[in-house]
Amino acid sequence: EPEVTQTPSHQVTQMGQEVILRCVPISNHLYFYWYRQILGQKVEFLVSFYNNEISEKSEIFDDQFSVERPDGSNFTLKIRSTKLEDSAMYFCASSTSGGGNEQFFGPGTRLTVL
C-alpha cells in the first residue's frame, strides 16, 4: 500500500539554524500539506501546496517558513532561523484532490530546537 514517507525521523538543531524537512508524498497525489503538532496538543495546519504554488497557509506559516517541490517526488519544508517554539512534530500529508477528501499522513519528523 502506498504511503507518505518523511525524513529524518528526528532532527535536533540549534536555535537560529536552518532546517529542511523532507517528504515523499504518494505518487499520484496532487495536493501536499504540512502540519505540526506541539507535544500534547492538537495537529495544526501550516500550508497546502498544489500545482507548484501555495494554495493556503495559516498564521503560523510566516516568512521563516517556505515550501518547495524541487523535483517530481520530494516536498520540503524549510525553516530559515529556528526558534525554541518551533520544536514539534511536523507531519506531511498528501491527497488526490483538494477540499473534502482524505489526507494521508506521513509518520512525522520530530524537530527539537535547543
Partner 1 sequence: GESVGLHLPTLSVQEGDNSIINCAYSNSASDYFIWYKQESGKGPQFIIDIRSNMDKRQGQRVTVLLNKTVKHLSLQIAATQPGDSAVYFCAENTGTASKLTFGTGTRLQVTL
> Which of 55, 73, 74, 96: binder of partner 1 (CB under 8 A)?
55
Query: Does residue 76 belong to the site contacting partner 1 (CB under 8 A)?
Result: no
- Reference 29, options 106, 98, 100; nearest CA is 98
Query: Does residue 65 belong to the site contacting partner 1 (CB under 8 A)?
Result: no
**Per-residue x/- mask for partner 1, residues 77 to 96, rule CB under 8 A?**
--------------x-----
Centroid of chain to Cα 65: 10
Centroid of chain to Cα 55: 14
d(CA 32, CA 60): 17
d(CA 102, CA 114): 35
Query: Does residue 45 belong to the site contacting partner 1 (CB under 8 A)?
Result: yes
Stretch that binds partner 1, among 11-19, 65-73, 75-83, 98-106 (CB under 8 A): 98-106
Query: Does residue 7 belong to the site contacting partner 1 (CB under 8 A)?
Result: no
Count other C-beta atoms under 10 Å from residue 72's C-beta: 6
Q: Minimal distance in Å, beta carbon 6 to partner 1? A: 8
Question: Cell 494554495, residue?
Answer: 55
Per CB under 8 A, residues contacting partner 1 are 4, 31, 33, 35, 41-45, 48, 50, 55-56, 58, 91, 98-108
